[in-house]
Each structure stands twice: as structure tokens, then as C-alpha cells.
């Protein structure tokens, strides 16, 4: 019965698949009957894989030693292969070891590369990394630099020397080795240096002075030497150092002196500019807005021979700057850039560029094709006053702010020496500004820097106009802190008039100097006042007197024009914005009577300040 079962399983003639597991006896029977085609024996796993004649395969568990199976396979001529798993395990272990060795080698290579880079950085730590621009890479010329014609004229000599040096050297002339560009931020000092290099047709090295100084000793001096070494290879060329006050500050200004890294860098720079070695063909341009802190050895002849003032542009200069920036922007035909130049006194070139850029952004946001006057106006208010906020509700706060701002505007309109009113509005701005009255500063005063005593008094009275309106309308018990910034400005102006300008009864004596910051401890022990306590009391009394006079003058003007004050406030609450021309037209049409001035101090000040309405 057993043989019949095995024959039934292995006989291919039956055509039935082997769905039962093949046991050891069945394996031996299949080998004996010639139904086995090939045997694969793994002694370690104790298994035999048999391949039958019909192509089927089966795995059979066997004993570690099988002499019967071996004899039957040998007698039947069935190939028997013994598989050695130890060899496969050995190969697998070898591959794992090789992979581990490869990972170790890769890691060592990565570490060696990092060490090499660190070594290179250490070796090149003292090398300078200036930005070199070839002649063709600089596309800024003098035509692109507007509003600073005097500075451009001063630098024409540098351009002429670089183009035609023989014309100067033939008669023994020597071009200045260094040109220091001095001016407020945003006036175009860096742009002017690039224009000089483009006009002269030479290569241009640019670097910031802060890139010289490091925490390691000797690095700054090494970088200065490397900078001039590179410049000598490209001579004639221009080396531009921006913000040179970072390394050019006065030496020995710290408490107890000093021998720090910055001073060593400055010493090396002084030696390279005018030392034993000749640096002909290298012109050093530097820019700073703090020339007062530079070392005197840096400014002597032979180093920075020339000091070119790059000041804020005047009205024609501002118009030229606006025209330069308007080349690449679509301007509406009715936009008058000359008028905008008149309305932006004190703006630098960077401020004007930012003004037109903000106007372009507002134009794109409004989906317009051309920049119009209203876009420039919104940009001007955004730049000067901040972003717009939510409008004020018709409440007591709105009326209070309206009286406050109209107080400023009305005092400025009535006083002859005050600046002209440009706009008064109740539209709030970010930063807690509930409304504002904007004035157009006198261009002549801004350009010259000379301001009269009467104009300073008028400015203080205008600043006190908001507090005066609150006093006249609401009374002393209802005033608010809204005039705190105005009072700070008045106090600062009054103190300068007394302590610096001599505009007081104490006489023309400069009791205080410039309120500059202490420079690295210099004169730290000498910040005590040079006057007595009695003089300090007298100075404080004079400052208080000037501030009280300004408030009294503003109160007198507003009290004498109370109906006009109420009318303008009602109009401002209704319209929220009143232009300067519209405001002045209402004042001129006013036919009311002026109330008598009750305060003698205010009456004297009003007498000294001509009334625009009279």
C-alpha cells in the first residue's frame, strides 16, 4: 500500500500535481524508481532539494548522515550535489568587512578634507578679500550721479590723472594719494567712487573697513598688506574702503590707552599709504559720515590729502536726482518733479530713490500704468509718518486731536517766521500718530544751516500750538499728554538757544558743546559741567522762560482767533484732511476781531513775531 501511494505521487503518467509533502521514504523511492532528476543536499540545514523529471521541486528534511540516500542516488545515477553554506557565510562576512572598511576610508577622507580646508583657511586668514570689478563691469558714470556737482568737480582731477598721468608728472605734480568722501548717510559716496573708477577706465577694488578687523591678533594688518599687494599688481587702480571709521578711529582713545587689533590695523594702513614703499598708481578712496572720530595721522597730507564733502542736495540737485530715478519708471505727464523737489528739503539721494520706489509700489498695488501725484504723496507720507492706520471714529478723541492739530497749523499760518503749512490731517498713522500737521521747511535755512532767533522762537510757538489749543478750548484740567513730543522738541531747542547760541540774557557764552556720544571712554572723566551750580540754575531758568514764552504766544494767538479755530476744527473733522493752500485761504477770508493778549510775556513775543494775517 505504501509503494502504491508513492507511485501515485511521483508517476508523471497520472498527470496529478503533488499536493502532499514528500517524505524521506518518498524521496528514496523516487530516486530508486528513476523519477528524481537532481538532488541538492545541505548538511548544515539537514534538507535535500529534489527536482523531479516533470520539473517539480520539493524540499525534504533528512538526517545529518544519509548513507542509504547516497547509495540509491549512486545506483540510479542521479546527480547529488552537496551545498556548503560555510563558504556563503564566509563570502557574506567578507563583503560586510569590506563595506565597513570602505566606510572607514570615506570617513577618514572626509576628515582629511575638512582638516585641509581648515588649514587653508588658517593659512589664508590674513588674506584680504576685496571685490574686484574690471573696467567693463562698472556701468556707473558721472551722468548717473546727480545732485552733488561740487563733489564731482573735485574728483575730476583724480579722473584726469588716471587718464593722462604724464600731464601731471611732467611738471612735478603729484596726485593726492587718498580722497576722503565725507557726508551724511545716503548722499551717494559709494556711488560716486564707482563713477570715478568708470570715468577713469581703471579697475576698482572695494572693501568694507570692518572686514579688516578680526578677533585674532595681526589678521587686520595682514589683510591690509595683502590688499595693497593685490592693488599694486593691477595699478593704476582705485581702492575704495567704505566706512573707514571702523578702523580709522583715534588711537589711544580708550581708558588707559590700548594696543588692540584695530590700532594695529590702522598703523599698517598708515604705513601702506605713506611709508617707505612707493604705491604710485594706487588711489585710495574712503567714505565716512563720522570724520570727527578719525585719527589725525590718517588725515594729514600724504595720506588723505583731499576731503570732499558730499552733502545733502539742494533743490536743483533733488530735481536732478528725481529725474535720474524717473528714467526707469513710467511717470504721468502731469507729474512735476520740480515741485516735488521743493517739497522734499533735507532728503538725501537714497531718500529720494526710496520715495519713487514706494510710489511705484503703490502704483502697482492700485493696478495703474503710470505714477501719479497722489501716489507720490502717499509714498511721502508713508516714508515720513509711517503706514496708515484705521480712521478715527467720530468721538471725543477725534475732536481733541482735531483741535490739537489745527492749533499747530493755525499758529504756523499766523506767524510770519514759521514754516509754511503743507497739510493737516486726522488720518492716523502707525506708531500712535492720531493725526499730524506737516510743514515745508524753509529751503534756504535747510541748505545753509543758518536759522535766526525769530525763526527758532516761531518754531517753538508752533510746537506749543497743540498744547495751547487744548488749554484755550478745554481748560487746564483737561489737557492730555498728546503734546509730550512737542514739549521735548521745544525743550531741546530752548536749551540749544541758551547754552550754545547765546540767545538769552546770560550773554554770548557757549556753556555746552556738541552733545556727541562719548568716544570709547575718551574724556569720560571730563563730562562734568564746566560751570557752577548757580549758573546751572540760571540756565535752567532761561530754558523755562523760553518755553513758557512759546506757550504763551501760542495761547494768545489762538485765544484771539477762537472763532477761526472752531471753524477750522469743524472743517477738519468733516473733511479729515485740509491742504495748506485751502487752510490759508480760510484764514485770509476770516474777518473776526483779535482778542487782547492777557499775558505780558506772550504779548511781547507776539509783537516780536509778525502776524501773517495782519
Per DSSP, which regions of 74-149 are E strands? 80-82, 131-133
Neighbouring residues of 454: CB distance < 8 A, sequence distance ≥ 6: 417, 608, 609
Beta bridge partners of 288: 182
Does residue 84 sit in helix, strand or coil? coil
* SS3 assignment, position 388: strand
Which listed residue (405, 470, 542, 549) is catalytic?
405
Q: How far apart are CA 501 and CA 566, in angstroms?
A: 38
Name the phi and psi angles at 192, rounded to 5. -65, -35
Phi, psi of 190 (to 5 degrees): -65, -40
Burial class (CB in 10 A: 0-12, 13-18, 19+), 90: exposed
Tell whether omega for the bond before 236 is within 30 degrees of 0, i.e. cis: yes
Alpha carbons 460 and 477: distance in angstroms, whole number = 23
* Residue 405 known to be catalytic: yes
CA distance 36 to 30: 6
- Extract the C-alpha cell encoding 177: 594719494
What are the backbone angles phi and psi of residue 547, rounded to the nearest 5°?
-65, -40
Torsion of CA 345, 349, 351, 354, to 10 degrees: 140
| Measured distance CA(310)–CA(188) in Å, rounded | 7
Residue 289 exposed, middle or buried by CB count within 10 Å (0-12, 13-18, 19+) = middle
Report the DSSP pairing between strands 420-425 and 304-309. Answer: unpaired
| DSSP string over 314-328 | -HHHHHHHHHHHTTT
Per DSSP bridges, beta strands 436-440 and 36-42 are: unpaired
Tell which residue, 319, 384, 346, has the closest CA to residue 187. Answer: 346
Q: Residues near 21 by Cβ (< 8 Å), separated by ≥ 6?
A: 58
Q: Give dist(CA 562, CA 556) in Å, integer.
A: 10
Classify residue 480 by its DSSP letter: -
Q: What is the DSSP string of 353-380?
A: HHHHHHHHHHHHHTT-SSB-HHHHHHHH
Positions marked active-site: 405
Amino acid at each position: 500500500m505504501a509503494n502504491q501511494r508513492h507511485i501515485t505521487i511521483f508517476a508523471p503518467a497520472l498527470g496529478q500535481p503533488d499536493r502532499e509533502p514528500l517524505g524521506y521514504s518518498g524521496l528514496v523511492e523516487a530516486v530508486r524508481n528513476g523519477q528524481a532528476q537532481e538532488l541538492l543536499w545541505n548538511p548544515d540545514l539537514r534538507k535535500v532539494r529534489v527536482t523531479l523529471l516533470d520539473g517539480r521541486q520539493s524540499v525534504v528534511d533528512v538526517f545529518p548522515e544519509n548513507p542509504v540516500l547516497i547509495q540509491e542516488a549512486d545506483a540510479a545515477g542521479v546527480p547529488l550535489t552537496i551545498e556548503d553554506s560555510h563558504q556563503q557565510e564566509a563570502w557574506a562576512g567578507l563583503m560586510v568587512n569590506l563595506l565597513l572598511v570602505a566606510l572607514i576610508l570615506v570617513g577618514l577622507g572626509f576628515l582629511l578634507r575638512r582638516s585641509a580646508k581648515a588649514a587653508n583657511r588658517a593659512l589664508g586668514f590674513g588674506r584680504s578679500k576685496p571685490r574686484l570689478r574690471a573696467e567693463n563691469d562698472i556701468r556707473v558714470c558721472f551722468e548717473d550721479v546727480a545732485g552733488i556737482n561740487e563733489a564731482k568737480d573735485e574728483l575730476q582731477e583724480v579722473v584726469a590723472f588716471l587718464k593722462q598721468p604724464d600731464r601731471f608728472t611732467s611738471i612735478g605734480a603729484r596726485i593726492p594719494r587718498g580722497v576722503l568722501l565725507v557726508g551724511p548717510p545716503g548722499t551717494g559716496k559709494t556711488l560716486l567712487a564707482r563713477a570715478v573708477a568708470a570715468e577713469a577706465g581703471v579697475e576698482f577694488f572695494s572693501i568694507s573697513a570692518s572686514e579688516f578687523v578680526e578677533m585674532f591678533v595681526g589678521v587686520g594688518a595682514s589683510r591690509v598688506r595683502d590688499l595693497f599687494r593685490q592693488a599694486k599688481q593691477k595699478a593704476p587702480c582705485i581702492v575704495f574702503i567704505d566706512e573707514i571709521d571702523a578702523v580709522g578711529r583715534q588711537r589711544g582713545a580708550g581708558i588707559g590707552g590700548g594696543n588692540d587689533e584695530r590700532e594695529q590695523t590702522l598703523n599698517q594702513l598708515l604705513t601702506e599709504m605713506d611709508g617707505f614703499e612707493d604705491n604710485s598708481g594706487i588711489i585710495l578712496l574712503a567714505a565716512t559720515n563720522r570724520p570727527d572720530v578719525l585719527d589725525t595721522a590718517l588725515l594729514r597730507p600724504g595720506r588723505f590729502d583731499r576731503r570732499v564733502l558730499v552733502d545733502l542736495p539742494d533743490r536743483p540737485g533733488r530735481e536732478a536726482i528725481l529725474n535720474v530715478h524717473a528714467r526707469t519708471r513710467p511717470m504721468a505727464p502731469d507729474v512735476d518733479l520740480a515741485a516735488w523737489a521743493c517739497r522734499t528739503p533735507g532728503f538725501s539721494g537714497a531718500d529720494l530713490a526710496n520715495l519713487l520706489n514706494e510710489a511705484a509700489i503703490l502704483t502697482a498695488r492700485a493696478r495703474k500704468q503710470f505714477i501719479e501725484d497722489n501716489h507720490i504723496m502717499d509714498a511721502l507720507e508713508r516714508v515720513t509718518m509711517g503706514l496708515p492706520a484705521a480712521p478715527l471714529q467720530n468721538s471725543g478723541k477725534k475732536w481733541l486731536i482735531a483741535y490739537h492739530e489745527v492749533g499747530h497749523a493755525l499758529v504756523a499760518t499766523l506767524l510770519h517766521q514759521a514754516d509754511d503749512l503743507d497739510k493737516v490731517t486726522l488720518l492716523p498713522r502707525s506708531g500712535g500718530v492720531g493725526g499730524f500737521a506737516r510743514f515745508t521747511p524753509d529751503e534756504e535755512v535747510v541748505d545753509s544751516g543758518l536759522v535766526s532767533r525769530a525763526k527758532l522762537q516761531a518754531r517753538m510757538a508752533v510746537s506749543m500750538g497743540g498744547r495751547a489749543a487744548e488749554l484755550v478750548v478745554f481748560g487746564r484740567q483737561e489737557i492730555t499728554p498728546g503734546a509730550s513730543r512737542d514739549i521735548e522738541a521745544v525743550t531741546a531747542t530752548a536749551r540749544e538757544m541758551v547754552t550754545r547760541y547765546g540767545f538769552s540774557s546770560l550773554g554770548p557764552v557757549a556753556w555746552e558743546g556738541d552733545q556727541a556720544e562719548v568716544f570709547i571712554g575718551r574724556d569720560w572723566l571730563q563730562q562734568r559741567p564746566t560751570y557752577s551750580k548757580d549758573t546751572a540754575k540760571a540756565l535752567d531758568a532761561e530754558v523755562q522762560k523760553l518755553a513758557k514764552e512759546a506757550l504763551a504766544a501760542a495761547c494768545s494767538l489762538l485765544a484771539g482767533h477762537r472763532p477761526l479755530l472752531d471753524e477750522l476744527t469743524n472743517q477738519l473733522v468733516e473733511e479729515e484732511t485740509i491742504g495748506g493752500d485751502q487752510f490759508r485761504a480760510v484764514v485770509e477770508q476770516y474777518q473776526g476781531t483779535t482778542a487782547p493778549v492777557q499775558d505780558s510775556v506772550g504779548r511781547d513775543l507776539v509783537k516780536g513775531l509778525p502776524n501773517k494775517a495782519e
